[in-house]
Structure 1
Amino acid sequence: MFLSRFRVNTARPGARRLLSSPQAMHAAVMSSFPALLPTDTPNPDEPRVLWRLDHQARAEVILYIVSPDRPDLTHLVEQAGWPAVASPDTPGWQTKPYAPLLEKLSAGESWAFRLTANPVHTIRRKDSEPRKATAHLTPVHQMRWLLERQERCGFRILEKSNDKRLLPSGTTYHGKHEHHGDQYELTVRDHNNRSFDKSRNTDGNRNGKPVTLVTVTYDGRLEVTDPTTLRRTLTHGIGRAKAYGCGLHTLAPLTPPTPPASL
């Protein structure tokens, strides 16, 4: 497994085209692997290609890719990078083996994490209708979506200490439903509702209905509960819409607290 990092040159037209369409970015990412064909279907039992866009600032966008094979992002550098300064030593992206991090995971460790996901649930309006996947639209329900999956994904989201909570219990209630907005070391941000064309025909016209996708980004802190399961989560992704930049769950060392200044 490999983890790759590519900084997007947002000033270039090619970059703006890729950033405006998850379908176009998906195609560009998958083109980084010569052994993969556009018609290949991911095997659910094997690690797959996952990607995510992190908007660090208005003009700073980072593309992260986790993949079973080492990618060649030369075409992305040419379309959406800085090709004039690329060289064999600095090709325009960084790729590192992912195995060292995966192998050292152990139960009880704490990490910071980030995940962009498509939080959905299935509902039906009438008993006679089939169940339909519908996006969660409020931060409360989006947070609950991830909390419901933490155990099966091999981790536990850390709870805030009492001195960091605005409420003594960290929870509020609306009717019979418990809201955990102030209980966990977890934030939900960057709610994005996008609609894009999945494909076009040879005349440049749309094929079928556009795809509608709701995404959010989770930032938080977790404790490893099952290293084997968490390794699968990191290499297989969480939730739906993985082809469109969702599901990539990454870890980072926790930043140690800043010691108080000496008098």
Structure 2
Amino acid sequence: MYLTRFRLNAARPGTRRLVASPQSLHAAVMSSFPHALPTATDRPRVLWRLDRNAAAELQLYVVSPDRPDLTHLVEQAGWPAAAAAGPPGWQTYDYARFLDSLDKGSVWNFRLTANPVHHVRVRDGQPVKRTPHVTAAHQISWLLDRQEAGGFRVQEKPAERRHTEHGDVHQVIVHDQRSLDFRKGGSKQPVTVKTVTYDGRLEVTDADALRRILTQGLGKAKAYGCGLMTLAPAQ
């Protein structure tokens, strides 16, 4: 497994086109794997996430079973001259070594962009409909509902920092809520995907289950930049 980081050049028109279309960015990511045919039905699971840390700082993260070649992204949305004179313009790390080092009880900071949804029935007799959670409390509850099966536990705040009457108990925040609107394939019906980013701190409770989350994703809309959780050392 590999973890790749690529910084997009926010000043380039190609970057703006990619950022505006999750379908285009997905296609660009999948084009990074020369042995994965676009029409193949058994293509490997590739996860990606776009972090908007600031207006001019756009970081693309990719987790994949194969090492990617992002030359086309450098040419379209990076710094081609700088890449030609030095490193290729992206960094790829041996993710398998990190995954193997995960131990039960270890604590990490995490980031996850996800599509938290639930199923509701508007009227009796009608089929249930997938509906996004729109409040921070429900979005956090969605994540907490998946922590046991996912092999992690979101850390709780110290007692003196909790606001239990507002449900503010865990060390997690939600931000960067976005609505991605696009048309899928040749359909005229627009598709809307609601996304939110979680930043928090977790403890590993089942290393194997968490490895599955880190490599296979969490939740829906993985093709559109959702589901990828990354970890960083907890300070």
Q: TM-score range by the shorter chain?
A: over 0.9
> What are the equivalent positions in structure 2 for 1:104-119 lying under 5 Å apart?
104-119=101-116
Aligned match of 1:176 = none
- Aligned equivalents of 1:198 and 1:72: distance in 2? 26
Distance 1:195 1:86 in 2: 33
Structure 1 unaligned spans of 5+: 173-178, 201-206, 256-263
1:164 offset after TM fit, Å? 2.1
How many Å apart are 1:48 and its aligned residue? 1.4
Structure 2 letter corresponding to 1:11: A
Which consecutive residues of structure 2, in runs of 5 or more, have no partner in the other structure? Answer: none
Larger-Rg structure: 1
Which digits, 9 at most, give the CA deviation of each residue in 1:127-166, with x for residues without a partner?
321111110011111110000000010000000001222x
- CA deviations 1:199-254 (Å, max 9, x no partner) are 35xxxxxx321210100000000000000000000000000000000000000001
**Do structure 1's residue 196 and structure 2's residue 182 form an aligned pair?**
yes
The residue identity in structure 1 corresponding to 2:206 is D
Tell me the distance in 2 between the aligned counterparts of 1:122 and 1:221.
28
Residues 72 and 88 of structure 1, relative CA distance in 2, 3 Å threshold: farther
What is the CA distance between 1:87 and its match in structure 2?
A: 3.2
Match of 1:31? 31
Partner of 1:254: 234
Aligned equivalent of 2:210: 230
Equivalent residue, structure 2, for 1:49: 46
The match for 2:161 is 164
Cα displacement string for residues 160-197 of structure 1 (whole angstroms, at most 9, x for unaligned residues) = 001222x3xxx22xxxxxx63x1000001111112112
- Equivalent residue runs for 1:29-178 within 5 Å: 29-41=29-41, 48-87=45-84, 89-165=86-162, 167=163, 171-172=164-165
Within 2, Cα distance between the matches of 1:23 and 1:76? 15
Q: Residue 24 of structure 1: CA displacement?
A: 0.4
Computed over aligned residues only, the root mean square deviation of the Cα atoms, in angstroms, reads 1.4
Change (3 A) 1:88 1:234: farther
Contact 2:22 2:180 survives alignment (8 Å): no
Q: Distance in 1 between matches of 2:11 and 2:86?
A: 24
Structure 1 residue 88, shift from structure 2 partner: 7.6
Higher helix share goes to which structure? 2
- Scaled by the length of structure 2, the TM-score of the pair is 0.96
- 2:173 match: 187
Distance 1:122 1:49 in 2: 26
CA distance in 1, matches of 2:41, 2:116: 22
